[in-house]
Structure 1
Amino acid sequence: MFRTALRNVLAHKARLMMTVLAVMLGVAFVSGTLVFTSTISAAYQKSSEKGFTGVDVAVEPHRASGDEDKPGRTPKLGRRLLDQAGKVPGAASATGSVSGFAAVADKNGKLVGEGFNSSGANYYAGGGGKDPRYPMKSGRAPQGAGEIALDAKTAERAGYKVGDTVRVSVDGPVLRQKLTGVFTTDDGNVSAGGSLALFDTPTAQKLYAQPGEFDRIDVKAAAGTSQAALKASVEKILPKDAKATTAKELADEQSRVIAQGMDGMRTSLLVFAGIALFVGVFIIANTFTMLVSQRTKELALLRAVGASRRQVTRSVLIEAFVVGSVAGVTGLLAGIGIGAGLRALIGGTGATIPDGPLVIAPSTVLVSMVVGVVVTMLAAWLPGRRAAKIPPVAAMNSVHAVATTKSLVVRNSIGGVITAIGAAIVLTATSSTMMGLGAGLVLIGVFVLTPLLSRPVIAAAAPILRPFGMTGKLARQNAVRNPRRTAATASALMIGLTLITGLTVIAGSVQQAIDKMATGSMKADYVVSMASMTPLSTDVEKKLSAHPDVAATSPLRSSWSMVAGEHRELMGVNGAAIGKLMNLEFTSGSFAGLSGGHVVIDDATSRTNHWKTGSSLDVTFEDGKKARLTVSGVYKGNDLMRGIMVDTRTLAPHQSQIDDRQVLVKTKAGTSEATKDALGKALGDNPAIRIQTKQDISDGISKGISLLLNMLYGLLAMAVVVAVLGVVNTLAMSVFERRQEIGMLRAIGLDRKGIKRMVRLESLIISVFGGVMGVGLGVFFGWAAGDLIKKGISTYELVLPWERMGIFLLLSALVGVLAALWPARRAAKLNMLDAIKAE
């Protein structure tokens, strides 16, 4: 039986190749995902570990238990604590660090590296005059307010050398610094493509904290002192608003955070890999069902000469094992290539990825082989078991071939129940998990029902096929002759198009909703912010308000305070100008009263706390001072603007460090490239500052969603490719089964062109049937998800992308045409006499 199974595998090489390809693509997707995520995770972990080189214990600010809800910023570490840390038993030295954002412009004025990884820090000379973290490659360390040092990679990319003037931005205004030194570093951000600028310690403290304050104190252990022992010594001198952590604990925590971040990406990619495998299971099961059907007489003969049911089933499983093993190995190799390609693709988009080798974990190899073998054997088990149960005499006479009415009724009943349950869950879903569960049940239910649905849908195509005459009629009849096979073939394409259509509908609707929200609530012509989303200096708003082309400006700044006993964010705005810059609908009051001790609140906050116009709020500001504010208006909030607004003149006296998140700008002449350029020049042509119109914001939203959709299309294309192979496989085997019939058609006058046309039209009908079902289900899921999305985005409305849905249907038709090329050619080349007499 083992030799028989191997002979059957090798006897049909083309069939073997298509089946292997179907499994291989699913395995390749899984292994590629695992290789990619393992590689990136390992690179980030190694990069983070380098950041703790030379550090044994780190001291960081920490709010004591019970102080979390107290207003005010997180306390910093002082010089006195730094000196004490360097003198504790077991300490060799202590280094004070302060850091933040620092955008470096190249000689052409463009931002160097990634904005989010453009950082600045202090060069801590210490007692020896050198900072061991940053050995100088050339020049010297910065020693004054107008000096800076750059990492070697940034200096090389920007074309700077010692003595040049470097344009740097920390919070908006451009600083022109003299480059005094170029250093080397193991900093993870730099190795990932970012930049690092160093200032002398007093300058860095002025830019990022307050004079004499540090973000972190790194303590190095003396020889023979363990990290745990040093930590115990350091903890004895710590105030209640600071904590000590060993470098190992920091590295472990960072590795855990990185692993958690990669888990999300890995899960997302594996979902799509699962989809490709899910589609592949249908094709493999369909393939083995047809293979077994074609060999029914052969298997019956084996039963007649003494083979048991188990041996027959085992022979089919052996065949599946061989196919799965080959597919597992080839899929693993292809997946390694996919993993490397994904990394190169992500790197090519400008994203920062640390350097590191390609990681092929043993678990990746194991999972790839298990997936390839187990999926194939599971898909082949049911057809093999079904074939083994057929009595030899019945198999010889083919009386088993026709599905009974009872079996179809049972199948349709089960499919109807599953579909109804799934639809009910989808329509009543209160979470994405419930929605996913319901969608999965609907897909399974519709798959079970597709034999029933295929007849009316394909019958509706009769008018389109009528111009093709007899070949069109034959194609339609062939498509519904075996509804189960047609259903299994079309379902593979249906699943892929359901997901593509559903995601397109949801993405388009969300895009319009956010666009409507962003542009509808703004009267301002421009929104000014840092590219890194870090705070802006208040000097930016002052320069813009003084510009002759500007009619009104308002900063958006925040301060965490205690309001009515709860920790809440107060949003500071220019009370006199905000009405000219924001278009918010008020249910009571207006912006007119926003000054002094008055505030306006959003409707959700109003309902939750039972506040209304005229209500008094007890507030404790971040400096600890108390005041009573009065609500002068209630507005309808949205995802872009909500919360408690207060005039900046009321808020500023209580803030220790004042900065802005954004600045809204209204110009006298409206938006134009000339006005935008003029505003940019007023801010020093700073590459770290974004000046965006409402259209720029909309385009940014569209670009982000389009990029996400394109990635999803690329991932789901794998499932569609697998579906194409399924159509090819089905048609090829259908031609093989109907060779006598085809020979007879040729004998009574149907030429080779007619045979080709018949097979192509049959493929076209099956593919378009799958496309129609997929697009229809995708629209249903997109519509059903609307109620769930509306809870988070109030402006969400269903948008049907008619053009794209038309393209999807055309693509499904193209799939049918391409899939039929080889089977049609094979059918046309059959010798009519050999085909007629074939047994």
Structure 2
Amino acid sequence: MWKASLHTLGNRVWQMLLCLCAIIISVAAVSAAISLNALVRTTTEGVVAATAADITVVPAGSLIAVDAVSAPPPLSADTVANVSEIPGVARARGQIRGDVLFPITSDGELLKPQLAPTITGSFLPTDDDGGAHMAISDGRAPEGEDEVVLDRPTLERSGYELGDTVTFARTGPAPSIEATVVGVVALEGDRPAGASYALFSEAAARTHFQAGREGFNSIWVDVADDAEVDVEVMVAEMRELIASEYQIVDGAQVASATQFQLYPRLTVAQVGLWVAGLLTLGIAAALISSTTAHLVARRRGEAAFLRRLGASPGRVALPILAEALLLGLAGSAIGMPIGQALAAELNDLGRQHGLSLGTVIPALSSTEAWLCVGIGVVITVLAGHRHATAVSFTQALPPRPLIPRPRLHFSDAAWTSVGLVAVGVGLLAVGTIVPGMPLPWAWALLGAGVVLVGTAIATPVLGAPLVRLVGLLGRPALRDVSTIAARNVTRHPVRFAKATAALVLGVGLVATFAVLGASGRASAHHDLPENVHGDLFVTSSADDGGFNRQVAELAAALPGVERVASYGVQTALHGGDPLRVLVAAPGTLESVVNYEVTDGRDVDANDEIMISADHAAASGLERGNAFNVVVNQQRVEVRVVGIFQAARGVELPPVISARGTFTDRGVTDVDDFVALELARAADVGAVRTALVDIAGTDPLLRVQDIDELADSRGAALAAAADTVDSLLTLLTWIAIIGITGTLLIAVQERKPEFRALRLVGMDRIQVSAMVALEAVLMGTVGGLVGTAAGAIAGWGLQRGLATMGYPFLEIPWGGLWGLVGLGVLVGLASAVLPLLAALRLQGPYRILHRGSAAQSVAESPANAV
């Protein structure tokens, strides 16, 4: 058996190489998805490890909102010493936690963290007695008042080296910070993390983050390993020593709060990666199974002949399964490192679009590596086993005359998938058209997924009319070549669906998010000019944290400026949770943005608030209700005087109050948005230049007109569309492999058919053109059907997200036609190897030889035996 397998090895080289490529591509796709998920996990673990002690003392509310409260009185060194004396405490060390900082690169660009936050404060190294999970990997720890250590990715991205001076921008009215980089900080165990670290000496941190006041704003407490004291008892004893402005939390609470800060971006990243992983896994399984099945089918005649000679099914199947096992192992071994490299490229691409999952792609764990190998090996062996053990010796007998199939034959699965597409469209309609449906975005998301998956399976049915039309249109130029090629494509629906599944899904996903992204941009450009008032605007590029109010005051004094209005955003605590509050002078907010007071009135005095209709419904608050909030460690009773609804496209915090509600309690007054109205005769360019000079004192500030403001808003809404494009390259290669493999195997299986065509008058060029046309038809239909499905899914998502920033539908026709063109290019690329294989076919005379195809296949093993 083994001798026969080796003897016929040369006849299967193309199929083996094709199967190997399918395994490599598939395992690489799965490996990339697993690597990116591992990167998100280690990013979270790294951030938590850097911020979580056994017990931590922090300002109240600072874990859930950096600017929830102003800095409370520092904790003295005596307090830290007293905490260390509590039974069960191994060591207590004072620490200073800092504000959010943004390094400015050597090129003058602002370096913002993406997935994880910036961690700043005093450097607390790991030692034998405990401490933060950090160490200096290069250089030394900071000691002077102008020294800092950075993590290596931040140092490399900023373009600086050890000994250089780095400028840090910061939110709020405080000035920028300059410090000399003296070391590189790394997490213990060198675990990667997406956070950016800027850690100063204790003296420098005290100067920058505590205005020079002595003491600490945090205590890092390590519990002794052999401590028998309950942690709750220890916390109770600490409570007697710590001022009420501070909260005492254990490591689990710190970890939970840190993950909560990462939750929105982390959830988007993880959900997207899991969806992409499951999608690529399904396509990978179909591709490996299809190519392996064709490889084993190539040996059916050989296996049947050996069965006829008396070999048992197990002895016949064993060499086939061994070959499948070797291919699976080889493809998995090659595919895993390729997947790691692909993950790094996708991560870099995501960073360019504003979503960095981390810094360094972690090595696959043994479990993850075995999972990748298992996927490649198990699917290959199972597909080989299914076909190898189904061979009987009767298959070596002369075949019966073939009964012609109907011109168009569809499987039940294909028709069922058409119903699946209809169900998906129905879900889109239910969630987006029927009024009053809860969670319309969830209905839209489910419907879009069902439409895309159903379309990939139903491609043979949905694309059949187009294939027939192309066959008819091409008949005047190509004659019978066009007709026969169209019939060949449609007569094998399962083969057609497997070959184009990756292309349909890839193009469909990109088309979906292209429609959503274009709708987001169109919505921003339509809504903002109507609902935001002003000619020029000053905003901060930081997500949170305002800027000095002096900017608005200086802008009001510029020649040509008729009016300046602004608002800021502060944070209070309500029930221990952060509450974002928009603050503005009474009567000025309506000159900045449009909103409607649906019940009650606007804010006229301090300690009065308006709440949004959504917040009122979620919290159960009504007009006239009063409740307590904490502002700068002070309990304040506020009263609801009105319910408001923001205009479409305008994002406002859920609570609106007067500035005095916060400034009367010692909170620094800041602006988050400044709008300038210019006189009709004003020189806009001159005013803008002067305004840029004023804002230039803060690197975080940017000056925009209404179009630029809409562009930035639209770019944020379209970020998902830009990021998902990175999946298209991978799925395009899978599609090329699938179509190429299908047609290469078809060329080998259809030799008698091709020779018969040659015998009735077709030349070699016409037969090859027929094969190439089949590939182009598959690619074109896959691109067109996928684009159409993506457009429908994108429409549904836009309708489902209409109240979340996407009220207007915009179809990017140019981009969609480009995706159809991509399908044509995929078909052309897939046609190259099958065309060359068809050109190498021998002449028609072999059709006259006596014997069946199965007998000719069996000649080689017979000689070997």
TM over 0.5: yes
Question: Equivalents in 2 of 1:721, 1:251: separation in Å?
Answer: 40
| Cross-structure match for 2:219 | 217
Give the 3-state SS of the residue equivalent to 2:305 in structure 1: helix
Tell me which amino acid in the other structure corresponds to 1:100.
D
Q: Which amino acid aligns with 1:287?
A: T
Task: Kindly tell me the number of residue pairs found equivalent between the two proteins.
Answer: 809
Q: Deviations over 1:34-76 (max 9, x none)?
A: 3455467557756765678xx8753224579xxx9xx977966
1:701-760 deviation digits (Å, cap 9, x = unpaired): 454566643442222322221111121122222222333343344455544433332222
Kept in 1: contact 2:98–2:205 (CA 8 A) = no
1:819 to 817, 824, 830: 830
Distance 1:447 1:22 in 2: 19
User: Contact (CA 8 Å) 1:281, 1:379: kept in 2 or not?
Assistant: no
Contact 2:779 2:823 (C-alpha < 8 Å) held by counterparts: yes
Contact residue 281 and residue 375 of structure 1 kept, 8 A: yes
Residue among 816, 821, 833 paired with 1:805? 816
**Aligned mates of 1:462, 1:424 — CA distance in 2:** 33
* 2:94 corresponding residue in structure 1: 95
**Counterpart-to-counterpart distance in 2, 1:226 and 1:178:** 46
Give me the TM-score of the superposition, normalised by structure 1. 0.79
CA contact 2:775–2:827 (8 Å) conserved in 1: yes
CA distance in 1, matches of 2:737, 2:166: 58
Secondary structure of the structure 2 residue equivalent to 1:830: coil
Letter in 2 for 1:367: L
2:31 pairs with 1:27: no
Q: Could you give the per-residue CA deviations for residues 597-620 of structure 1, whole angstroms, max 9, x where no partner exists?
A: 8765545457779999xx545354
Which of 366, 369, 372 does residue 368 from structure 1 map onto? Answer: 372
1:85 to 83, 86, 92: 83
Deviations 1:220-255 (A, max 9, x none): 799999998995774663456645567799689979
Cα distance, 1:812 vs. partner? 0.9
Task: Say if 1:749 and 1:99 are closer, same or farther in 2 by CA, change over 3 A.
Answer: same
Aligned residues of 1:529 and 1:661 also touching (Cα < 8 A): no
Work out whether residues 325 and 373 of structure 1, in 8 Å CA contact, stay in contact via their aligned partners in 2: yes
Following superposition, the deviation at residue 27 of structure 1 comes to: 0.6
Separation in structure 2 between the aligned mates of residue 626 and residue 169 of structure 1, nearest angstrom: 35
Of residues 470, 488, 492, the one that matches 1:482 is: 492
User: 1:742·1:832 contact (CA, 8 Å) conserved in 2?
Assistant: no
CA distance in 1, matches of 2:412, 2:155: 73
CA distance in 1, matches of 2:614, 2:259: 39
* 1:781 correspondence with 2:793: yes
Task: Give the AA of the match of 1:218.
Answer: W
1:45-444 map, 5 Å: 45=45, 49=49, 58-62=56-60, 78-79=75-76, 81-82=79-80, 84-85=82-83, 94-103=93-102, 111=110, 121=121, 141-142=144-145, 148-151=146-149, 169-173=169-173, 175=175, 183-184=182-183, 186=185, 194-196=197-199, 200=204, 203-204=207-208, 206-207=210-211, 214-218=216-220, 234=238, 237-238=241-242, 242-244=246-248, 265=269, 268-291=272-295, 295-306=299-310, 317-342=321-346, 358-380=362-384, 383=387, 387-388=390-391, 392=394, 396-398=398-400, 408=410, 410-411=412-413, 414-428=416-430, 430=439, 442=451
Aligned partner of residue 359 in structure 1, secondary structure: coil
658-667 or 222-231, which moves further after superposition? 222-231
Partners of 1:60 and 1:243 within 8 A in 2: yes
> Could you list the runs of 5+ residues in structure 2 that have no partner in the other structure?
125-130, 432-438, 854-865
- Pick closer, same or farther for the CA change 1:250–1:538 going to 2, 3 Å: same
Shift of 1:796: 2.4
> Structure 2 CA distance, aligned partners of 1:454 and 1:14?
29
CA distance in 1, matches of 2:609, 2:524: 26
Matches of 1:117 and 1:412 in 2, distance apart? 48
Counterpart for residue 591 of structure 2: 580
* Partners of 1:99 and 1:499 in 2: CA distance: 42
Post-superposition shift, 1:806? 0.8
TM-score by length of 2: 0.77
Aligned 8 A contact 1:103 1:170 in 2: yes
> RMSD across aligned C-alpha pairs, in angstroms?
5.0
Of the three residues 655, 663, 666, the one matched with 2:673 is 663
Match of 2:861 in 1: none
Shift of 1:508: 2.3
Q: CA deviation at 1:504?
A: 2.0
2:637 and 2:261 mapped to 1: Cα distance? 38
Kindly indicate whether the alpha-carbon contact (under 8 Å) linking 1:165 and 1:176 is maintained by their aligned counterparts in 2: no
Instruction: Give CA deviations for 1:453-476 in whole Å, capped at 9, x if unaligned.
Output: 454331122343134232323322
Deviation of residue 214 (structure 1)? 4.1
CA contact (8 A) 1:104 1:118 kept: no
**SS in structure 2 of the partner of residue 571 of structure 1:** strand
- Structure 2 distance, partners of 1:580, 1:559, is 23
Distance across 2 between alignment mates of 1:566 and 1:123: 29
Deviation at 1:410, TM superposition (A): 4.5
> Cα gap change, 1:96/1:459 in structure 2, threshold over 3 Å: closer, same or farther?
closer
Residue identity matched to 2:523? A
Asked if 1:766 is matched to 2:775, the reply is no
Gapped regions of structure 1 (runs ≥ 5)? 125-130, 143-147
**Structure 1 position 734 matched with structure 2 position 746:** yes
Q: Deviations over 1:350-375 (max 9, x none)?
A: 98898768523111220111110122
Q: Matched residues in 1 for 2:335 and 2:395: separation?
A: 41
Question: Distance between the aligned counterparts of 2:820 and 2:286, measured in 1?
Answer: 21
Residue in 1 aligned with 2:474?
A: 465
How high is the sequence identity, in percent, across the aligned residues? 19
Q: Once the two structures are superposed, what CA deviation does each residue of 1:162-217 show, in whole Å capped at 9, x if it has no partner?
A: 9x9986654455747786x765463769996554456656644555xx96674302
